[in-house]
Structure 1
């Protein structure tokens, strides 16, 4: 069923009308996507989220482990000019964020970039995008949960003097038997999500406020130890060093798109989703730059080399007391728990959209009538991610989440260009400025970032895609609701 005002894709001479190629490129009309918004098997998602909650979802998914450890990797490349590196990385993310904002306001549904590509690039590309998102969200939940367990161990040891037994703090193959803290934080996030979108959004907002306060505390303490000489020379390794650090820091911005997965639970999605995406990016960039100014001012940039200087280490260096490092470790525990909650939320909503389209089993789109949440979906995803975090060494699979995310970002930039060409008169609550230039820049930057990743990451990504294509051709293509409409 083509979009209104669109001609169906041309059929090559001599090819049958129902050829496999035409099935792979079938698109789901924007009007149909929007009309189905919120509807699941047995009930509907509840529209209960405002601008504040949506913004906190994206901030919660973005502001996590990265800023607590990333300076130790980036400062040796850029020196004090790491502040500029954060700005460059933020601007790099901004081009894709603008495209997300336009599509989130135009197609306010739960599937995020999966749904955007379904409306513009066809079913096969949409499946590939959705499969990338499953990798990005599912594996990153598990990886972040493992990091939460490590910070929790440090916090307990710093406050009580007793650590978590190694057998219960790591999976097999990494010195342990079962990573119990990683499982616990996923189950805690699951409990919030089962209570409803509004309740989990409130819990996330509290956690976001706590971790922003922890970073604010770091800045206050670090600024007491700032020495003007630490900012000189400002750019010791030149612009090349600033750019290299910017590429490293870009991955600290991944997560700003999380609000787009809440398209069917926002009270005024067309107005609030674009604002939430862009506002969250501004908040995160401002915090990152402020923390960077305080950190490099308090500690000479050369001392970051090989020291794995985290924010907690800098606070201890400035004050000479371990108390402040313990406080910051508490902030890190809260920060990472917020990431687990928001990313797990995004994963369930993407699977909800894919299930409603018939591409994954129907159980993922069943909505509980009392809470208005996809309860079975949440339980299945949480148990899977929790067991993955607790019992499986993730290794390179966790690294592959970066390439999956960039691939999804690239497709969103392409989707903006396609929808601008095929549906120029469609109402858009937000429009990317200077299109098609900005979406094209966003696409090129994503491809450049993907090209900078190592070969092993590409091998893992290719293997994941091969499995995904096998699942699609064996299950999704035949059970697609659009396939039923074609018969």
Structure 2
């Protein structure tokens, strides 16, 4: 409270700021990190795998854009499910997504700490973890304006370093012309099955594009800005990933590597020498910090929204600092989660998050269809039969998006599915306790003081 009035999130972010947060979340340098794995799975057609993954995730991005347009409140999949599928369903979706958002900062810090340890081996990974988490938390606590500025600088630097690597690759290709410029797209060893598997792996690179929807209440003209930002993040990220992968595939044709996990580092030595390779490693370090900053920002907002709604203890999670306007306790909690990652591998850490992410994606696609069914007459301009554009935009595209995300969920490891299933079961138990066996209503989202969704009649013009 401040001056007798509740402290609320305020709209400050521009389209450029929101898009930068989304790109930082996805980490531009990630394409270099996983290139070897994607190329090996796709038999040397990494750019095709990234292009397929981009198209697949774009379907879900369109669904997020529609939901952000019609329901411009923070909370992402959680808010949309509560509004369209009911409070209990929204609670369980929010609980599942919470697993993703709660542990994603830890994963971002852990990946960055691994890079830093490789660059400075004298400093243990756990020390880097504490430094990264502490510094990121401090920046986010100070305020959104500082976070925005720092994020823009770091993301621009990370993109510059990636493009610098591409420039060195192009110079190298000027002296060592590739045998074929089409082989990275499709070659004699390519198969649909291989590209599909590789695309499923590449799709993990896009986790986080949806996180910009958690910033709706802190964005100017959110009903217009957030939908555009979601689409732009996937489009820009997809073009960057596919383009960089194409150049890398020209430098190293085929999918055979001594060690796919360090293919980018080996390639950096080849095109620029050892010193350049060490500097290229900085792209991952800088991008990792920017990603951790963006990830913790969105995670703390989801915790705040759930606390504000009473799904989580309101006195702990639903409070903003009156001076900074930030959810300090939520930020401290997400910062403390780094302690979980002090002694685990990156593979184990990532198994915590993917279940909630893909479940959230699936539910948002379903929400678009439910929204359309509820307003189908208005969406069709009063006609009894919906228009083809309405069906394409609000039924067919999200249905395909849901199929893609369900498929991606089936590709998760047994560990990921087990952890996700146990977490969801715990959420059911918490919901039963919260509602006293459904004898009390699930805490409702207070949308009365937030921007109203546009009329259903606007559906047709946006399809």
Q: Following TM superposition, by how much is the alpha carbon of 1:43 offset from its aligned partner in structure 2, in angstroms?
A: 0.8
RMSD: 2.5
Q: Which residue of 1 aligns with 2:205?
A: 252
CA contact (8 A) 2:351 2:413 kept: no
Q: Following TM superposition, by how much is the alpha carbon of 1:60 offset from its aligned partner in structure 2, in angstroms?
A: 0.8
1:454 aligned to which of 413, 417, 424: 413
Could you tell me how far apart the structure 2 residues matched to 1:297 and 1:113 are?
39
2:26 aligned to which of 29, 42, 62: 62
Could you report, residue by residue, the CA deviation over 1:332-366 in whole angstroms, capped at 9, with x for unpaired residues? Answer: 10101111111111111111111111110112111
Does 1:417 find its partner at 2:369?
A: yes
Q: Following TM superposition, by how much is the alpha carbon of 1:154 offset from its aligned partner in structure 2, in angstroms?
A: 2.1
Aligned residues: 424
Q: Which residue of 2 aligns with 1:463?
A: 422
2:234 aligned to which of 281, 288, 293: 281
SS at match of 1:436: helix
Does 1:196 find its partner at 2:136?
A: no
CA contact (8 A) 1:43 1:372 kept: yes
Q: Following TM superposition, by how much is the alpha carbon of 1:148 offset from its aligned partner in structure 2, in angstroms?
A: 0.9
Q: Following TM superposition, by how much is the alpha carbon of 1:308 offset from its aligned partner in structure 2, in angstroms?
A: 2.8
Could you tell me how far apart the structure 2 residues matched to 1:386 and 1:198 are?
24
Q: Which residue of 2 aligns with 1:472?
A: 431
Q: Following TM superposition, by how much is the alpha carbon of 1:323 offset from its aligned partner in structure 2, in angstroms?
A: 1.2
Does 1:214 find its partner at 2:178?
A: no
Q: Which residue of 1 aligns with 2:250?
A: 297
Q: Following TM superposition, by how much is the alpha carbon of 1:146 offset from its aligned partner in structure 2, in angstroms?
A: 1.2
Q: Which residue of 2 aligns with 1:9?
A: none
- Of 374-383 and 344-353, deviating more is 374-383
Q: Cα distance 1:432–1:59, how it changes in 2: closer, same or farther (>3 A)?
A: farther
Does 1:164 find its partner at 2:164?
A: no
SS at match of 1:110: coil
SS at match of 1:434: helix
Q: Cα distance 1:476–1:258, how it changes in 2: closer, same or farther (>3 A)?
A: farther
Does 1:325 find its partner at 2:277?
A: yes
Q: Which residue of 2 aligns with 1:146?
A: 110
Q: Which residue of 2 aligns with 1:112?
A: 76
CA contact (8 A) 1:230 1:299 kept: no
Could you tell me how far apart the structure 2 residues matched to 1:112 and 1:342 are?
15
Q: Cα distance 1:394–1:471, how it changes in 2: closer, same or farther (>3 A)?
A: farther
Q: Cα distance 1:66–1:297, how it changes in 2: closer, same or farther (>3 A)?
A: same
- Of 392-401 and 337-346, deviating more is 392-401
Could you tell me how far apart the structure 1 residues matched to 2:10 and 2:61 are?
25
Structure 1: stretches of 5+ with no match in the other structure = 1-39, 157-162, 170-178
TM-score normalised over the length of structure 1: 0.82
CA contact (8 A) 2:40 2:260 kept: no
Q: Following TM superposition, by how much is the alpha carbon of 1:455 offset from its aligned partner in structure 2, in angstroms?
A: 2.8
SS at match of 1:267: coil
Q: Which residue of 1 aligns with 2:127?
A: 180
Could you tell me how far apart the structure 2 residues matched to 1:482 and 1:252 are?
33
Does 1:402 find its partner at 2:349?
A: no
CA contact (8 A) 1:64 1:336 kept: no
Structure 1 segments of 4 or more deviating over 4 A? 230-233, 391-395, 476-480
CA contact (8 A) 1:98 1:432 kept: no
Structure 2: stretches of 5+ with no match in the other structure = 380-389, 447-463
Could you report, residue by residue, the CA deviation over 1:76-102 in whole angstroms, capped at 9, with x for unpaired residues? Answer: 222342211111000000010000001
Could you tell me how far apart the structure 2 residues matched to 1:264 and 1:155 are?
39
- Of 308-317 and 116-125, deviating more is 308-317
Could you report, residue by residue, the CA deviation over 1:99-137 in whole angstroms, capped at 9, with x for unpaired residues? Answer: 000111211112111000000111222122111222112
Could you tell me how far apart the structure 2 residues matched to 1:476 and 1:155 are?
51
Does 1:365 find its partner at 2:328?
A: no
Could you tell me how far apart the structure 1 residues matched to 2:7 and 2:441 are?
21
Q: Cα distance 1:480–1:327, how it changes in 2: closer, same or farther (>3 A)?
A: same
Q: Cα distance 1:394–1:252, how it changes in 2: closer, same or farther (>3 A)?
A: closer
Q: Cα distance 1:375–1:412, how it changes in 2: closer, same or farther (>3 A)?
A: same
Q: Following TM superposition, by how much is the alpha carbon of 1:392 offset from its aligned partner in structure 2, in angstroms?
A: 5.6
SS at match of 2:217: coil
TM-score normalised over the length of structure 2: 0.86
Could you tell me how far apart the structure 2 residues matched to 1:306 and 1:261 are?
38
Q: Which residue of 2 aligns with 1:45?
A: 9
Q: Which residue of 2 aligns with 1:175?
A: none
